[in-house]
Structure 1
Amino acid sequence: MAHIQHRRTTGTTIAAISVEPLNIPLLEPFTIATGSTSEARNVLITITLEDGSVGYGEAAPFLPSLGEDQNTALAAAQSCAALLQGKDAAHWRSLARLLRSLYFSQSSVCAGFEMALLDALTRSYGLPLYAFFGGAGNAVETDISIPLVEPEHAYELARAAVERGIRTIKIKVGSDVREDVARVEAVREGAPNVGLTLDANQGYTPAEALLCLEALDERDIRPLLLEQPVPKDDYEGLRYVTQHSRVPVAADESAYSAANVAHLIAMGAVNVVNIKLMKSGIVEALDIAAVCRATHTQLMIGAMMESRLAISAAAHFVAGLGGFRFIDLDTPMLLAADPFIGGYEQRGGLYDLSGVESGLGISRRQ
């Protein structure tokens, strides 16, 4: 006799999902080697469970890096919402796999839904998200980024960063090597006692990357890190820079899945891997972190142009797992408005999560 299974709802069943644009202006235009932006044009995802728990997620599409923009993200998010309606958020891993199997080219949307699912679920459980991820710590300390600007402005931004208590500055390079060196020199002058990292955002050839590092070395400037010096598909170029430099080299745009990160590490192409939730989503990011730990490859966390919401998720991820060497979660400091409250308390570059009682601890500003 066949058993008829009745569909049961639990408190963690998804009752409602909403998707809407999230537009936030920047304090000033932010320019990197692959483009310039003056506004975060993101997507806000809100998931409500049967027990009333509400979870928030943010998709931060960026066309040059992800091949997504706000319009494609909104369209994909609406379709994802229809797929998840009535499902149990407790099965977040299988739901994440379902979304990624269908919408793999909309990675920021998949990440936003994973974020909203986990926020709602851990609110329902009464557990802070960092504790859900392992509770290794409850605070992270971020750097702040200086875009492709004139040396004089870079100097001013560096001074301002020091005044607000920032201890590491990330400098965008990858345009003209001479201009890049001048910008780094200006930052060093404005912030003589902070750590410096460089991010070329795919802007260099291998020879240009090494030329930049050599010119800085002649000026007694040794960066802590050079991030993504060459185009993302040029694995051999990445390896060439890594093998010919004493400065650690990080993969960012080149690193997007556990399998591809394992390949980069096996070929000796990188010393550091920059995980971005918008590239890989949370489930895949956990696997990437595991690959890096197993191979003693240093971990970094980064972000697209994200608000306090998505940055909180990344901070909870890093604090919960522990062991991240480089933390680049500064984008809320570049925005002219903040539509959210909570998630963390900020002191200088420190994001303190210890006051979060459940989930991300984020709420919308009224």
Structure 2
Amino acid sequence: MTRTTIRSMTVEPLNVPLHEPFAIATGSVTQARNVLITLTLQDGSIGYGECAPFPPSTGESQETALAAARNCIDLLVGQDAAHWRRLSKLVHSLYFAQKTVCAGIEMALLDALTRCYGMPLYAFFGGASTRVETDMSIPLVTPERGYQLAEKTVKLGISTIKVKVGGDLREDVNRVEAVRSGAPHVGVILDANQGYTPNEALLCLEALEDRDIRPILLEQPVHKDDLAGLRYVMQHTSVPIAADESAGSLAEVSNIIATGSANVINIKLMKTGIVEAMDIVALCRAAHMQLMIGAMIETRLAISMAAHFAAGLGNFRFIDLDTPMLLTDDPFNGGYEQQRGIYDLSQIEKGLDITPR
């Protein structure tokens, strides 16, 4: 037994309401219904992990995540957290359909381990930077509400807005136009969450161009399995196209790169887990593919891990880690310091430096 041996593990629900329903093309949620994992090492170091199942995107629920995570307790207690890659492989081999659980366990392992080692996670990942700057998302709302949310975002000092589209084309265009009116000097990203056909995606971009609106990115315009459609959209517009739901694994990202189907890969730790996400970053760098980091409906805990990941590895062009700002409560203390859309990690000494309230 060593100081990094896992002494105990607990699993519990983590529920936080949203300020308002968050609607995307594939569904809507009113609260984060997540899972909190707590690992304690032999030396007393405690690590926290969060599973954020988002049924419209992952197919998982809080109930399935709780069951799978609890089944991992006997599997992990007594194991050495220093062997985190081996433990990650073990969990992924047994719970390959529960990616958010794999991610939450990896998160707790690395948080506990780096607290034990006395180093912040951004340094563990490479120390390329100590800060990231996030955008702010506006869901499928009326143009009037979109205008209000855009004005509010500007007052927060955030410089990029991501607008959800993928529904009725006219409503989508009107929403984006209203957001541009409410925030005339910020960058605009569009996210269709698989809601369009290839032609609809191009029609949306053309209609916006007629209104002198050019998005800096269009994310996942078509169904995740329609790589031909994704490539068609990319070949017929100069707006960069990002793969999100299509980029759910290293193998899928490899296929996107091989077929030239997107300009940008959106990495979400909840889709792949941390170990596989590191492999995806390496592959994208080798292929000169631009990187984006995103999230499900996650609290400060999981968003902190994503921020450490992106800052430590560096070279992420697009940052979409705004979900703590959509929640009515913050159940955690510590972690990053926020100024406007910037998450500053420089004062963190060990791990994520986060504790539950």
TM-score per shorter chain, which class? over 0.9
- Quote the offset at 1:329 in angstroms: 0.1
User: Partner of 1:328 in structure 2?
Assistant: 320
Deviations 1:254-299 (A, max 9, x none): 0011221011011110000000000000000000111111111100
Rounded to whole Å, the distance in 2 between the matches of 1:81 and 1:214 is: 52
Which one of the candidate residues 323, 338, 341 is aligned to 2:330?
Answer: 338
Given that residues 247 and 253 in structure 2 are in contact (C-alpha distance below 8 angstroms), is that contact kept between their aligned partners in structure 1?
yes
- Quote the offset at 1:133 in angstroms: 0.2
Rounded to whole Å, the distance in 2 between the matches of 1:23 and 1:70 is: 9
Are residues 1:279 and 2:289 paired? no
User: Partner of 1:112 in structure 2?
Assistant: 104
Are residues 1:93 and 2:104 paired? no
User: Partner of 2:207 in structure 1?
Assistant: 215
Deviates more, 1:270-279 or 1:238-247: 238-247
User: Partner of 1:46 in structure 2?
Assistant: 38
Alignment of 1:182-221 (within 5 A): 182-221=174-213
Given that residues 25 and 167 in structure 2 are in contact (C-alpha distance below 8 angstroms), is that contact kept between their aligned partners in structure 1?
yes
Q: Secondary structure at the match of 2:273?
A: helix
Q: Secondary structure at the match of 2:338?
A: strand
Which one of the candidate residues 143, 149, 157 is aligned to 1:165?
Answer: 157
Which one of the candidate residues 15, 20, 26 is aligned to 2:12?
Answer: 20
User: Partner of 1:313 in structure 2?
Assistant: 305
User: Partner of 2:246 in structure 1?
Assistant: 254
Rounded to whole Å, the distance in 1 between the matches of 2:170 and 2:37 is: 43
Rounded to whole Å, the distance in 2 between the matches of 1:239 and 1:85 is: 46
Rounded to whole Å, the distance in 1 between the matches of 2:301 and 2:129 is: 19
Q: Secondary structure at the match of 2:72?
A: helix
- Quote the offset at 1:64 in angstroms: 2.0
Are residues 1:288 and 2:285 paired? no
Which one of the candidate residues 75, 80, 96 is aligned to 2:72?
Answer: 80
User: Partner of 2:25 in structure 1?
Assistant: 33
Q: Secondary structure at the match of 2:245?
A: coil
Rounded to whole Å, the distance in 2 between the matches of 1:289 and 1:245 is: 25
- Quote the offset at 1:43 in angstroms: 0.3
Are residues 1:231 and 2:223 paired? yes
Which one of the candidate residues 123, 141, 147 is aligned to 2:139?
Answer: 147
Residue 344 of structure 2 aligns with an amino acid whose one-letter code is D
Residue 54 of structure 1 aligns with an amino acid whose one-letter code is I
Percent identity reads 71
Q: Secondary structure at the match of 1:266?
A: helix
TM-score, normalised to structure 2, is: 0.99
Q: Could you say what the CA RMSD is over the residues aligned between the two structures, in angstroms?
A: 0.5
Rounded to whole Å, the distance in 1 between the matches of 2:271 and 2:182 is: 33
- Quote the offset at 1:342 in angstroms: 1.3
Deviations 1:192-245 (A, max 9, x none): 110100000000001100000010111111100000001111111111111111
Given that residues 217 and 242 in structure 2 are in contact (C-alpha distance below 8 angstroms), is that contact kept between their aligned partners in structure 1?
yes
Rounded to whole Å, the distance in 2 between the matches of 1:265 and 1:324 is: 17
Rounded to whole Å, the distance in 2 between the matches of 1:289 and 1:81 is: 30
Residue 248 of structure 1 aligns with an amino acid whose one-letter code is P
Rounded to whole Å, the distance in 2 between the matches of 1:186 and 1:46 is: 43
Which consecutive residues of structure 2, in runs of 5 or more, have no partner in the other structure? Answer: none
Rounded to whole Å, the distance in 1 between the matches of 2:298 and 2:227 is: 28
User: Partner of 2:296 in structure 1?
Assistant: 304
Rounded to whole Å, the distance in 1 between the matches of 2:136 and 2:220 is: 17
Q: Secondary structure at the match of 2:161?
A: strand
Q: Secondary structure at the match of 1:202?
A: coil
Deviates more, 1:192-201 or 1:78-87: 78-87
Rounded to whole Å, the distance in 1 between the matches of 2:308 and 2:231 is: 32
Runs of 4+ in structure 1 over 3 Å off: none
Deviations 1:321-361 (A, max 9, x none): 00000000000000000100111000000000011110001
Rounded to whole Å, the distance in 2 between the matches of 1:174 and 1:359 is: 38
- Quote the offset at 1:181 in angstroms: 0.4
TM-score, normalised to structure 1, is: 0.97
